[in-house]
Amino acid sequence: MKKTLLVLATSLTALAVPAAAAASSSAPAALSSAPAASSSSSAALSFSSPASASGRGAAQPASSPAVRGSIQPVTRVAALDPEPLSVKLTDVVLGGDPRRPSAVTKVTVTNDSTQAERAGFTLSLVSNLTIGSSTDCAPTGDTGHKWTCGGWDLAPGKSVTVGVPIVAAQPEAVFGIKIYAGTVQGITPDGRTGLPQDFAATYPAKTTLKLNVVRDPLDPQSVQVKATNAGTIPLDAYSLIVLTPTGVKVTSTACKPSDDGQWCEVYRNTGLAQGATDTFQLHLSAPNGPRDVKFYLAPTARYTNADTTALVSVG
C-alpha cells in the first residue's frame, strides 16, 4: 500500500501570490488529506498513545522568515498515515470437544506507517462464536461479540503475532459446514484504522464411529463398551449417552447424570486415531431384575453410520 506524503511547500513569492489566495488554494488540500479521528473507535480502545505521537498532524511553525513582515508563508505538513496498520490471519478450523469446538487463530498486525505506532486490532464475531480466555483482548461495549486487542509498540515495518482462542457457542452441535466468522481490523489509540479483513470458520467434519456394547458374562450388571473410529479423520473426543429406565442407575462415576436423572453422559476425550478402538467398562445397578438399557453415541448429528446405538439387557 502506497503511503500518502504531502510535500512541505512554502510560498515565498508574497508579491506574486496574495495571502488570501495562498491560504484558500493550498491550505485546504493539506488539511483535507488528514483523516478525522473516530471518537467511537478511540473511546473503545483502552491502550494509550505513545508520547511520540503527540503533535502529529498539527501545523508546524514556518522555518522561513515572514516576507515584508506582513504575509506569512503557507506551510503544508505531512498527514497521518490514513491506514497505518494491516492485519493478517488464517481461517479458523474448529476441533476438540464436538459440542463446543474451538481453535486458536493467529492474528498478525503490521505497522505500515512511516513512524512508530501503538498497534491493536478490533475483532468482531458472529453470534454463535465467542473467544476463550485471552490476556490480549477485552470486550468492547455490551454486544458480547466485539473485542479490542492490543496494544503493542511497533516500529515502522514491524509486526506482532498473537493467538486468539475462538470457541463455537451454539446450543446444538454443528458439523461439516463453513461459515463467515467475523472481521478483524487494525486500530491505533487515536482511532485510525486499517482495512478490515473477513475470515471464515470451518466446523468439524462428519465422520463414522461404530458402537458395540455387550453385557459382561461375569457380571450381569456391567457392560463393556467399544467405540471404533471407522472414519478418515482422528477424533479428539466423543460422548456416550446412557438412558436409564426407572429402577436402573449407572454407578460408574464417569457417567455424569442429567438434571432429571433419566440419562447420564460419559465424555471420552482421550483421542481416537483412525481405525483405533476405545474400550471401557460401565457398572450399573438393576435391583429389580433385568432391564433393557439403551446406549448411543453423541452428538448424533456427527455420525454418518447407523450402528451408533445399542440396546442391552442389564441385571
pTM of the model: 0.66
Q: What is the mean pLDDT of residues 198-213?
A: 96
Q: What are 107-165's pLDDT values in tens digits?
A: 999 999 999 999 999 999 999 999 998 889 999 877 779 999 998 999 999 999 999 99
pLDDT digits (tens, 9 = 90+) for 208-226: 999 999 999 889 899 999 9
Question: Confidence class of residue 26 from pLDDT cuts 50, 70 and 90?
Answer: very low
What pLDDT shows up at residue 80? Answer: 58
Q: What DSSP letter does each residue of 222-240 carry, written as one string?
A: EEEEEEEE-SSS-BS-EEE
Question: Where is pLDDT greater, at 157 or 51?
Answer: 157
With b meaning 16 or more CB within 10 Å and e meaning fewer, what string describes 214-224? ebeeeeebbbb
Using one digit for the tens of pLDDT, what is the confidence trace for 260-272? 889 999 999 989 9
Contact 80, 56 (CB under 8 A): yes
- Using alpha carbons only, give the angle 195, 81, 1 rounded to the nearest 5 degrees: 55
* Residues paired with residue 88 on neighbouring β-strands, in sequence order: 108
- One-letter amino acid identity for 103? A
Cα 54 → chain centroid = 32
- Helices marked H in 100-147: none
Question: Greater confidence, 6 or 189?
Answer: 189
Cell triple for residue 256? Answer: 455424569
Per-residue pLDDT at 31: 29
The grid coordinates of residue 157 equal 515495518
Chain centre distance of CA 287: 51
C-alpha dist (Å) from residue 103 to 95, 123, 130, 236, 293: 6, 15, 11, 12, 36
